[in-house]
Amino acid sequence: QKDGYDWFMRKEIYEQPDAVANTLLGRHSKEGKLVLDELRMSEDDLRKIDKIIIVACGTAFYAGLVAKYAIEHWTRLPCEVELAHEFRYRDPIVGPTTLVVCISQSGETADSLMAVRHAREQKARVLAICNTNGSTIPRESDAVIYTHAGPEIGVASTKGFMTQLVACYVLGLYLAQVRGTKFDDEIAATVAELEAMPAAIQSVLDGIEPVIKLAEEFADEPSVLFLGRHVGYPVALEGALKLKELAYIHAEGFAAGELKHGPIALIDDQLPVFVVVPPRGRDQLHDKVVSNIQEIRARGARTIVLAEADDQAVEPYADLMIKLPKVSTLLQPMLAVVPLQVFACELATRKGHDVDQPRNLAKSVTVE
Ligand code: F6R
């Protein structure tokens, strides 16, 4: 079932354009209106929600971190994101007007399941975002949005993460539609952008050769850093997690603005640092990240920059620039994560590791 690929992980990375299309299928009208019957909540009840809490673990948690930016921006509802195991064993403020969203590819992660049970005991409405039909978490939730990515066999989540992002965007846009916090044409424009993502992801994959070469070059690095800001921050965390779990290399992701508060002390000569650069826009995000890159480069780091293809402001500070298609800031994680997945997969296979079954890991973690 590897369809000619040597590893499931590689296959699943390349399946992402189709997976995204499948997650979107049937979830919006031609006019760009969201359809989300599976929420099983009346519009009246949806309007009563006053808080969203996303619970998840690992990569799914990072999808949740991205979702927070989008959901709060579009719906103006407070949205917290919490590691499921932390949520469960404290005393979170949850009630009947809280929507708890559990993101889980497998639907069997014990930590996430316990959080779902805890939320339901507190009378919260629980929605699962899940890839595995009929698994435990959706069965114990009030409603489920299936991601329809197809089976994910590789232990490291790739298309699972990608389609979790899509499901979260769809949810956020739907809530904005129901609550009237975004104009219909703004929602339709974002839906159109989502519809264009499979082609955009494909073009990132088509131009991936420099990333494969980079993985060969960096195979013996002891440590790699990843930086991002705004939605680029969870992408940095995900890039670091992929490298740790597959290549067994020390890797850390930081919010770029946090550098000067400590981590910049780690930067020394030749340290590889990946930086996710936000699209140029009306805010100052882009320029702030460019100055972060200048700071680390001045201290000798090798900078691998993921940025819009024609971003000339950043190019002079990049040892390697990985060019991404134009997209709005909130959706950029869907493109920026792809080279990081490929980098980790290529580097790990180059070192001779089994990327489908990394050491010490299981596909679904069914113990707390
Ligand atoms: C990392 C990875 C894990 C999972 C986490 C949650 O590549 O796969 O971090 O994301 O164990 O798993 P699910 O989504 O099945 O609940």
pLDDT tens for each residue of 185-208 = 999 999 999 999 999 999 999 999
For residue range 130-144, what is the model confidence (pLDDT) as tens digits? 999 999 999 999 999
Kindly give, in sequence order, each residue whose CB lies less than 8 Å from that of residue 86, ignoring residues fewer than 6 positions away: none
Show which residues are catalytic: 363
Residue predicted with more confidence, 361 or 347: 347
60 lines ligand 1 (CB under 6 A): yes
ipTM of the complex as predicted: 0.98
How far is CA 357 from its chain centroid? 21
pLDDT, one tens digit per residue, over 240-254 is 999 999 999 999 999
Q: Is 289 in the pocket of ligand 1 (CB under 6 A)?
A: no
* Residue closest by Cα to atom 5 of ligand 1: 58
Residue nearest to atom 3 of ligand 1 (CA): 58
Q: How far apart are CA 300 and CA 298, in angstroms?
A: 6
3-state secondary structure the chain: CCCCCCCHHHHHHHCHHHHHHHHHCCCECCCCCECCHHHCCCHHHHHHCCEEEEEECHHHHHHHHHHHHHHHHHHCCCEEEEEHHHHHCCCCCCCCCEEEEEEECCCCCHHHHHHHHHHHHCCCEEEEEECCCCCHHHHCCCEEEECCCCCCCCCCCCHHHHHHHHHHHHHHHHHHHHHCCCCHHHHHHHHHHHHCHHHHHHHHHHCCHHHHHHHHHCCCCCEEEEEECCCHHHHHHHHHHHHHHHHCCEEEEEEHHHHHHCHHHHCCCCCEEEEECCCCCCCCHHHHHHHHHHHHHHCCCEEEEEEECCCCCCHHHCCEEEEECCCCHHHCHHHHHHHHHHHHHHHHHHCCCCCCCCCCCCCCCCCC
Q: What per-residue confidence (pLDDT) applies to 11?
A: 97
Q: Determine the pLDDT at residue 147.
A: 98
For a ligand 1 pocket test, name from 101, 105, 129, 130 the mutation site with the most ligand atoms within 8 angstroms of its C-beta: 105
Among 213, 271, 221, 276, which residue's Cα sits nearest to residue 244? 221
**Which pLDDT score, from 0 to 100, does residue 1 have?**
84
Ligand 1 centroid to residue 84 C-alpha, Å: 12
- What are the beta bridge partners of residue 223? 250
Per the DSSP assignment, residues forming a β-bridge with 125 are: 99
Cβ atoms of 112 and 136 within 8 Å: the answer is no
